[in-house]
Amino acid sequence: MDPLTLSRIQFAANISFHILFPSITIGLGWLLVFFKLRFLATRAPHWMELYFFFTKIFALSFSLGVVSGVTMSFQFGTNWPGYMNTVGNIAGPLLAYEVLNAFFLEATFLGIMLFAFRRVKPWVHTGATILVAFGTTMSAFWILALNSWMHTPAGYTMIDGVAHAVDWVAIVFNPSMPYRFAHTLLASGLTVAFLTAGLLAYRALRGDRGAAVATGLRCAITLGAVLLPLQVLVGDLHGVNTRDYQPQKLAAMEALWESTHGAPMTLFALPDETTRTSRYALEIPKLGSLLITRDPNGYVQGLNEFPGLHPPVAPVFWSFRVMIGTGLAMGLVSWAGLVWLWRRRDFPRLYSRILVAMTFSGWVATLSGWYVTEIGRQPWLVQGVLKARDAVSAVPGTQVATTLAAYLLAYVGLLAAYIASLFYLARKESDSSGATKGAHP
Amino acid sequence: MIHDLVQSGQWLPFAFALLIGVSMLLYAILDGYDLGVGLLSRFARGAERDRMIASIGPFWDANETWLVLGVGLLLVAFPRAHGDILTHLYLPVSGMILGLIFRGVSFDFRKKVPPDQQPRWNAAFFWGSLIVTLSQGYMVGRFMIGFQEGVASQLYAVCFALLVTSGYALMGSCWLILKCEHDLQRRAIRWARIAIWLMALGAVLTSLTAPFVNTRIYDRMLAFPEVTLLLALPLVSVMLTVIMHVLLGALPLPGDRLAWLPFALAVMIFVLGFVGLVYSFYPYIIPGRLRIVDAASAPESLRLILWGTAVVMPVLAGYTVFAYRVFKGKAHDLSYD
């Protein structure tokens, strides 16, 4: 394979592995703040049990996020030098601000949050917890500002083939940024809702009937049920934004080969790029146009308007359906859970098992969503400015293949260890609950 | 003249070169001690190893961030240099990253997996640390000679790897002298006595091989009249090494007096070495290949980051000091609750 394809696979592998952990820590950081504040308000020990249990998971996720994030910071130079040469004046400051005001904040106060519960005054510890959560959110803000700028560049001018900044406010708050930021934060909240629900349901199935498990499950399911409709709303707005700025991506998401009025919504199809048709299409008439243009007969641009400049259709089309399907399942399960919460009944074992099976459903939805937006940007690296193939480094393909194999092996091993550890921690916690654990005022 | 310089923004690249230098030096010192503890963890067992790792547990995250900042600022301010350096060092960078990954996650995994799997993560912690230190030293060596090819160049870089690894081991053992007590402190003193001479050996080896690789470094160092000033660097380093040796022979003193001094001396040796290295290739950003002024980004981007940095740095320094104060004194076992 050529270095371009290998470098793309390597970058995709690195960033896919990396995003798994921020998608947990962003939401979990704030959930820990919530647990801590509930404890301070009620002094009920089970809030502190929840806090300590999920702190362990936060710490593990955080360290995986840090080390895979360090990998990312080197990838630009090792594999994509053309990226920084062309848009370094824009990307550089955004990345620098991420490190300066977010990364250090998280990394420094994490030590206090994790290990200084007995060493500092309670308000300092609570403050450190809030600063860590705030830091992870700010990290996401800067990174998503840059990522969004690559989709919808604004506030710059090109001089001799190099982007120069003109208006920093326009760069940071570029057209897709608010939608992407909101969409990603909500995705993290949903990921965490199902992660906590899954682990606590696992403890419940193992006979842990402590107050922490029941309370935690109630929080997790409520969180999922509240965030999901919000996510649907934000996702819809994000789609409209894509219509305006990246119509070729939207056309690929719907496998719409020809521009048309009154486009259908495709539930299922096998898009075939060689014949430029979709086989076995199952469609709902007019719904596509209604969602995209708010008009059942609205005009939607098809792939025919972007010859040679649209993304590969099948991966975008399928990733989008995986995301929507997972999201629907998450909605169904969290709203079903509300029924038992409402009646103040125990969850049936089958329901708990479904929660356990869906522990990492947020990862599936998050990853497939990112594949939609990132594959959907191809062949551009920066929409309309720089193509991926013009940014790749001159490192020989054999070297890239070697490191790619090493990274993949490491990631598979670490992911297996991570998932096994979460369930091991849950087992250990439920085996030791009932012993003298809990709050130290 | 100075007025022109300020007006035109030509001073910006140099301000950034300084910032990158400071970040890299802070990285070498801060992550140096925790990587060093990682190297030494191989020579301790059970509770002692736990105590050693506990002494760096609250700090390693933030220490590593200085590397991200240094590389990030290089990327921001000197994109051409960043691309050139990282593509030349593709394999060692990838090796270092894998080392950082395994070492970083071992902090958590070693305490969160079933007991029978813990040895695996202790091993990952040591080997990860070793790969990181060796590849960092090797990369600095390659960088110093402008990525020149050939057997002598490779040998030079390997000597540099030994130098940096023993330097980190010295930092690590001095940190343990400061943060530990009793038996462990005595062992750390012994480790430091070995590490300081290994480091001296590494320094001699790199100095001896350097002229066979590239005479530029020596031409620069031996130019008159700077040579009088520059002779001070190695002389003071030798003096500090001897003082360190004598001090280590006398420690531990009653009441734990002067337990902080080896660490301070090691920091001074690092600073001197760093200044010497940087001086040997200034005003280049990649020795012999690319000058600072020729590699810089657009001034409007540099200005924005510089203001941000100027505001953030003091705050950053403030809360770093705060974190070290919270965990001051001898290290205890770490627990969340």
**pLDDT tens per residue across span A275-285:** 888 888 888 88
Number of H helices, E strands in chain B: 14, 2
B333 has a chain A CB within 8 A of its CB: no
Token output for B163: 């130098």
Question: Which one, of A139, A137, A150, A157, lies nearest residue A176 by Cα?
Answer: A150
d(CA A299, CA A263): 8
Q: How confident is the model at residue B73 (pLDDT cuts 50, 70, 90)?
A: confident
B144 has a chain A CB within 8 A of its CB: no
User: Which whole number is the average pLDDT over B287-298?
Assistant: 80
pLDDT over threshold 50, residue A437: no
Is the previous residue joined to B115 through a cis bond, with omega within 30 degrees of 0?
A: no
Nearest CA in chain B to A121: B326
Interface of A with B in 53-72 (CB under 8 A): 55-56, 59-60, 62-64, 66-71
A156 has a chain B CB within 8 A of its CB: no
Q: Which of A219-233, A365-379, B2-16, B247-261 has the least mean pLDDT?
A: B2-16
Interface size, chain A vs chain B, as Cβ–Cβ contacts under 8 Å: 215
d(CA A24, CA A191): 6
Q: How confident is the model at residue B215 (pLDDT cuts 50, 70, 90)?
A: low
* Chain A contact set for B107 (CB, 8 A): 63
CA of A88 vs chain B CAs: smallest distance (Å): 6
Question: Which one, of A195, A295, A175, A185, lies nearest residue A244 by Cα?
Answer: A175
Predicted complex ipTM: 0.81
* Percent of chain B surpassing pLDDT 70: 93
CA of A96 vs chain B CAs: smallest distance (Å): 6
| CA-to-CA separations, B220 to A351, B21, B160, B254, in angstroms, rounded | 74, 19, 19, 47
* Extended beta strands in A43-200, E state: 156-159, 162-165
User: Which whole number is the average pLDDT over A150-158?
Assistant: 91
- The pLDDT value recorded for residue B42 is 93
Q: Is A76 exposed, middle or buried (0-12, 13-18, 19+ CB in 10 A)?
A: buried
Q: Is A102 exposed, middle or buried (0-12, 13-18, 19+ CB in 10 A)?
A: buried
Q: Which residue has the higher pLDDT, A250 or B10?
A: A250
Contacts of A74 (CB under 8 A, 6+ apart): B71, B86, B93, B97
- The pLDDT value recorded for residue B217 is 67
How big is chain B by its Cα radius of gyration, in Å? 21
Identify whether the C-beta of residue A252 lies closer than 8 Å to the C-beta of residue A303: yes
A407 has a chain B CB within 8 A of its CB: yes
- The pLDDT value recorded for residue B267 is 94
Token output for A356: 């356990």
Assigned CATH topology for domain B13-326: Formate dehydrogenase/DMSO reductase fold (1.20.1630)
A93 has a chain B CB within 8 A of its CB: yes
Q: How confident is the model at residue A439 (pLDDT cuts 50, 70, 90)?
A: very low
- The pLDDT value recorded for residue A436 is 37
- The pLDDT value recorded for residue B7 is 59
Which amino acid makes up residue A131?
L
- The pLDDT value recorded for residue A440 is 36
Between helix B90-112 and helix A397-432 the angle, nearest 10°, is 10
**pLDDT tens per residue across span B156-208:** 899 999 999 999 999 999 999 999 988 999 999 999 999 999 999 998 888 88
Question: Which one, of A214, A215, A223, lies nearest residue A195 by Cα?
Answer: A223
Cβ–Cβ gap A108/B76 under 8 Å = no
Buried b (16+ CB within 10 A) or exposed e, B178-210: bbbeeebbebbbebbbebbebbbebbebbeebb
- The pLDDT value recorded for residue B271 is 93
**pLDDT tens per residue across span B84-100:** 888 888 889 989 999 99
What's the distance, Cα to Cα, between the start and end of chain A in Å?
60
User: Which whole number is the average pLDDT over B283-306?
Assistant: 81
A100 has a chain B CB within 8 A of its CB: yes
* Chain A contact set for B308 (CB, 8 A): 93, 96-97, 100-101
- The pLDDT value recorded for residue B200 is 92
Interface of B with A in 80-109 (CB under 8 A): 80, 82-87, 90-91, 93-94, 97-98, 100-102, 104-105, 107-109
What are the sequence ranges of the domains in chain B? Answer: 13-326
Bridge partners for A386 per DSSP: A382
pLDDT over threshold 60, residue A44: yes
**pLDDT tens per residue across span A194-231:** 999 999 999 999 888 888 998 999 999 999 999 999 99
- The pLDDT value recorded for residue B226 is 66
Neighbours of A296 (CB within 10 A): 15
Average pLDDT over chain B reads: 86
pLDDT over threshold 80, residue A433: no
Give the mutation candidate from A32, A75, A100 for the B interface (greatest B CB count, under 10 A): A100
- The pLDDT value recorded for residue B77 is 84
pLDDT over threshold 60, residue B302: yes
DSSP, res B285: E
User: Which whole number is the average pLDDT over B144-151?
Assistant: 84
Cβ–Cβ gap B298/A162 under 8 Å = yes
* Chain A contact set for B105 (CB, 8 A): 60, 63-64, 67, 414, 417
Q: How confident is the model at residue A336 (pLDDT cuts 50, 70, 90)?
A: very high
Q: Select the residue of A52, A70, A97 nearest B97 (Cβ to Cβ).
A: A70
- The pLDDT value recorded for residue A441 is 33
User: Which whole number is the average pLDDT over A163-169?
Assistant: 89
CA of B125 vs chain A CAs: smallest distance (Å): 13
d(CA A225, CA A98): 31
Query: What DSSP string describes A150-196?
Result: HHS--SEEEETTEEEES-HHHHHT-TTHHHHHHHHHHHHHHHHHHHH
Neighbours of A79 (CB within 10 A): 27
- The pLDDT value recorded for residue A396 is 83
Is the previous residue joined to B252 through a cis bond, with omega within 30 degrees of 0?
A: yes
**pLDDT tens per residue across span A372-414:** 999 999 888 898 888 888 888 778 888 888 889 999 999 999 9
Which amino acid makes up residue B175?
W
CA of A143 vs chain B CAs: smallest distance (Å): 13
Cβ–Cβ gap B71/A402 under 8 Å = no
* Chain B contact set for A395 (CB, 8 A): 87, 90
Average pLDDT over chain A reads: 88
User: Which whole number is the average pLDDT over B113-119?
Assistant: 89
CA of B29 vs chain A CAs: smallest distance (Å): 16
Q: Which helix (H) or strand (E) holds A223?
A: helix A211-245
* Percent of chain A surpassing pLDDT 90: 48
* Chain A contact set for B305 (CB, 8 A): 92-93, 96-97
* Extended beta strands in A365-441, E state: 380-382, 386-387
- The pLDDT value recorded for residue A323 is 95
